[in-house]
Amino acid sequence: MINPTEITITIDTECSIAGAFADPENKPIAEEAILCEIDGKEHGVGFLLDTFEKYGIKASFFVECAHYFYFGDDPMKNVIRRINQAGQDTQLHIHPCWLNFIKDKNIGSFPINDSCQGRGYDELKKIFELCIDVFTNWTEKKPEAIRTGSLVADLNIYKVMRDLNIPLSSNVALGVNMPAEKELQLFGGRQFINGVMELPVFSYQDTNFLGKKNIKSLQITSCSWPEMKYLLKKARKEAITNIVILTHPFEFIKRTDARFSHMTRNRVNQTRLEKLCRFIAEHDQDFVSADFGSSAAKWQEKGPNDQGLLECPTYYMIGRKLHNKLNDTVWSY
C-alpha cells in the first residue's frame, strides 16, 4: 500500500497596505486583516486555529515579516505566539514593498516594489536577510521555508535562498502567476531548484464553455468543495504524494472595502475549509495533513517527486463559478 497523500494547507498571514501608497491619508491595516474580528469573534486566525484543532490538522502559516518596518513587533509577534502554542507551523512570507517604510539609511533604501522577481542578487539577499532576522526574533528559529509575495518567482530567488541555507520554498502557483522559466512551471509535487526544494501550490486544468483550457491553483476562496474533493480523490488514484493548498485569514470574511470598514462572516469559505479538514480526518488511510517545518528533513531525504497535469471536468467549473458569483454578490449568503 502506498503512503498517504500529504495535504499541506498554507495560510499567507499578512497585514494590508490598504491603499497607503496611492493615498498617504490611508494607513496600513494589521489586526483587521489578520484576526478579522466581528462582534468579538475572530473569523481569521482564530477561526483557522479552532478548525485545525477540531479536526487534528497540521498546517503552515507563512507569516509576512517585512511589515515590521512599519508596525514594529505588534501585532504579528503575538499572533505567531498563538500559532505556535496551538501546535501549528510558522514559515516566512515576504512582501518587499513594506521595506519602503524603512527610515534608517544605514539599513538601506528600497523603492515601492512588491516583487521578489527581477531583482539583483545582492538586493534580494539583503531583503531576505532583513526578513529572516525579524522572523527569527519573533519565532526563535530560522525558517525552513520561504514564500514570496503574490507567488512570483524566478531562478535568482532560489540562488539567494540556497546561499542563505533555506531548504524549502513554495513560490509557485501556476494559476496565480506563470513563471517565465520552464524549470518553475510546476503543477505540484516536489522539485529541486538551484539546490532548494520547491513545493508548488497544486495546480490543475479545467475547460470553459467555449472549450478553452485554463490553469487554476487550489485555493479555498476560488475552488468549490465538490471540485476540491474530486481533485483530491483523483490525485490519490494517480499516487500524487504532495498537495499544497493556499488560503489567507481574510478569505473567511467578506468586507465592503480595502480598509475592512464593514465585515461579515464568509460562510461559504468557512464551510469549504471545515469540509476539507473533516475529509482529511475521516480518510486517514489515504490522506494526512503535513506542515513544512515537521516535514522538511523527510521531504529532502526522499527527494524530487514530479506531478503531471490533472484535469477537472467542465461541470465542476460551472458549479464553482455560479457558487462563487452568488457568494460574492449576496452579502448575507
CA distance 168 to 175: 21
State the pLDDT confidence band at 267, using cuts at 50, 70 and 90.
very high
CA distance 67 to 265: 26
Average pLDDT on 305-321 reads 93
Q: What is the DSSP letter of 98?
A: G
CA distance 140 to 299: 23
- Maximum distance among all alpha carbons in the chain? 60
Q: Give the alpha-carbon dihedral of 246, 252, 253, 256, to 10 degrees.
A: 20
- What percentage of the chain carries pLDDT values higher than 70? 100
pLDDT in tens, 224-243: 999 999 999 999 999 999 99
- Asked if the bond preceding 75 is cis, omega within 30° of 0, the reply is yes
- What percentage of the chain carries pLDDT values higher than 90? 95
* pTM (2 d.p.): 0.97
Cβ–Cβ < 8 Å for 202, 245: yes
Helix (H) or strand (E) holding 101: none
Q: Which of 55, 54, 47 is nearest to 287 (CA)?
A: 55
CA 62 to chain centre: 6
Q: What is the DSSP letter of 123?
A: H
Q: What is the pLDDT of residue 1?
A: 67
Average pLDDT on 8-32 reads 95
User: Torsions phi, psi of 6, nearest 5?
Assistant: -90, 125
Above 70 in pLDDT, residue 155? yes
pLDDT in tens, 177-205: 999 999 999 999 999 999 999 999 999 99
Is beta strand 60-64 parallel, antiparallel or unpaired with respect to 168-169?
unpaired
* DSSP string across 142-157: --SEEEEGGG---HHH
Hunting for cell 506542515 — which residue is that? 291
CA distance 148 to 73: 21
Above 70 in pLDDT, residue 84? yes
Above 90 in pLDDT, residue 209? no
Domain ranges of the chain: 5-329
Cβ–Cβ < 8 Å for 263, 254: yes
CB atoms within 10 A of CB 35: 21
pLDDT in tens, 240-258: 999 999 999 999 999 999 9
Q: What architecture is the 5-329 domain classified under in CATH?
A: Alpha-Beta Barrel (3.20)
Q: How many residues does the chain have?
A: 333
**Partners of 148 in the β-ladder:** 94
Residue 162 grid coordinates? 540556497
**Partners of 242 in the β-ladder:** 6
CA 261 to chain centre: 24
Burial of 246 per CB tally in 10 Å (0-12, 13-18, 19+): buried
